Amino acid sequence: MSETHREMWEKLNLDIEAHDGLLEVLGKFYGDIYMSQDNRLKGMEYMDFVLSEVHGLRIQELQDAKAQGHKVVGTFCVFVPEELTLAADAIQVGLCAGADAGTQEAEKRVPRNTCALIKSFMGFKLARLCPYIESSDLVVGETTCDGKKKAYEALSDLLPTYIMEVPQTKSLAAKELWRSEVLRYKEELERLTGVTITAERLAQSIKTVNDRRRALQRLNALRAADPAPISGRDALLINQISFYDDPVRFTTKINELCDELEARVAAGEGVAPRNTPRLLMAGCPMAVPNWKLPYVVESSGAVIVGEESCIGTRNTRDLVDESATTLEGMIDALVDRYMKIDCACFTPNDERMDNVAELAKTLKADGVVNYSLMFCQPYAHEGMKLGNMFEAQGIPMLALETDYSMEDVEQLKTRVEAFVEMLG
């Protein structure tokens, strides 16, 4: 890593020694999991580059943008409307973290029996390892699960934190509450940036974010082909990078990659032989660099054909209606689109069952792996419902619960291999 990056990290007050250690482990992990794959698409070279510079060049870009007066907004949930953030001339980045870091420190602020994702973002902040959180002018939390809600209280002692109230039901009153929250966030952004969000600005940013969703939808649709044209690991990486990269540049790159994928599908080529067992992953989001389970699955003779999670189709399935011409109409369109998110924090959440079933069918999945992080109540509950639904439909499902440690890799492998063998 260049000296310039080191200077930048020092200015961001990162713990340089611990950060060096993290990058070294990450590089090795990435090499083992990603660079060992056969038949990768040429378009993945861009993703390899972005990942290799995720704490380098991209952070430099954020610093340059800040120097030009732009603000950086860090988020933990797909409920935060990026369209508004962009319309206020700010940059939005995802802050969820997918690796054990600073756990001891984190456990002084949140209970030990908290999910790994929450402990990880607390740990990254406390151990001074995340240049994204250190670059953020505002961190936006949200009232989704109890663990996150309470963790944001602890986080607000360390950072300027703003909380959006996400309703827990889809009633009319809930929708009204969400509308008022969207408007409150708009005002907060205008205060932060000094930019007034106009209809023209919002129309443009709705298009930008929709274009990225359209590109990712295109990618997902191509994964219905047999043989699978892209590995689940690579598709997950693409979804993870979508939370960090510049949206316009990223969309262009994904569309180029999709051109390559289309040619591959037309030629009947893939990353695994035809009839390799095809699995849909469903459940908790897998934040970067959480690649453990996809690696275990794809080194057990199966291929992953879809990710039903917020770092996957839940974030890309629905577009914002682009037909509105007034600011009010656009806000309504945003409210409608975001209220379609089928996060397990909602009750009831029957539409998620239908959406997962539909996805499994479209992607021609032979089986489903339900992934929940330990101590995540919402997804563990819904995992049981999914299990019953798929049993009734005759689609095998394997329910796995894990965290970010490597201790259970062998145990997971044994269970996944038995499942894949049964499918085969």
| DSSP helix/strand/coil, 50 | helix
CA count, 13 A, side-chain hemisphere, 190: 11
For the segment 51-90, give every residue that binds ligand BJ8 (CB under 6 A): 77-79
Of 102 and 147, CB closest to ligand BJ8:
147
Angle between helices 199-222 and 232-241 (to 10 degrees): 170
Q: In what order do the strands lie in the sheet with 161-164?
A: 91-94, 72-75, 138-142, 161-164
Of 304 and 310, CB closest to ligand BJ8:
310
Sign of CA dihedral 388, 389, 395, 397: negative
Selected binder of ligand BJ8 within 282, 302, 334, 373 (CB under 6 A) = 373
Name the strand (E) or helix (H) holding 380: helix 377-393
Q: Please identify, among the stretches 140-148, 201-209, 350-358, 384-392, the one whose residues bind ligand BJ8 according to the rule CB under 6 A.
A: 140-148
Backbone phi, then psi, for 396, in 5-degree steps? -65, 140
Of 115 and 235, CB closest to ligand BJ8:
115
Q: Please identify, among the stretches 57-65, 84-92, 115-123, 235-243, the one whose residues bind ligand BJ8 according to the rule CB under 6 A.
A: 115-123
Please state the separation of Cα 213 from the chain's center in Å.
Answer: 13
Of 276 and 402, CB closest to ligand BJ8:
402
Q: Binders of ligand BJ8: how many residues, by CB under 6 A?
A: 20
Does position 147 bind ligand BJ8 by CB under 6 A? yes
Q: Kindly state the tokens that stand for 285.
A: 């989001």
Name the strand (E) or helix (H) holding 389: helix 377-393
What value does the CA radius of gyration of the chain take, rounded to a whole number of Å?
A: 21
Selected binder of ligand BJ8 within 59, 88, 91, 117 (CB under 6 A) = 117
Sign of CA dihedral 376, 377, 383, 384: positive
Q: Please identify, among the stretches 128-136, 203-211, 372-380, 390-398, the one whose residues bind ligand BJ8 according to the rule CB under 6 A.
A: 372-380
Cβ 369 vs Cβ 397: under 8 Å: yes
Q: Please identify, among the stretches 13-21, 219-227, 371-379, 416-424, the one whose residues bind ligand BJ8 according to the rule CB under 6 A.
A: 371-379
The interface mask with ligand BJ8, positions 246-285, x = CB under 6 A, is: --------------------------------------xx
Give which of 337, 335, 340, 367 is closest to 351, Cα–Cα.
Answer: 340
Does position 376 bind ligand BJ8 by CB under 6 A? yes
Does position 345 bind ligand BJ8 by CB under 6 A? yes
Does position 310 bind ligand BJ8 by CB under 6 A? yes
Q: Kindly state the tokens that stand for 237.
A: 């990486």
Q: Please identify, among the stretches 143-151, 198-206, 212-220, 223-231, the one whose residues bind ligand BJ8 according to the rule CB under 6 A.
A: 143-151
Angle between helices 199-222 and 247-266 (to 10 degrees): 30
Of 93 and 115, CB closest to ligand BJ8:
115
- Rounded to a whole number of angstroms, the minimum distance from the CB of residue 390 to ligand BJ8 is 20
Does position 287 bind ligand BJ8 by CB under 6 A? no
Q: Kindly state the tokens that stand for 189.
A: 């952004």
Using CB under 6 A, list all residues that contact ligand BJ8: 77-79, 115, 117-118, 144-145, 147-148, 284-285, 310, 341, 343, 345, 373, 376, 378-379
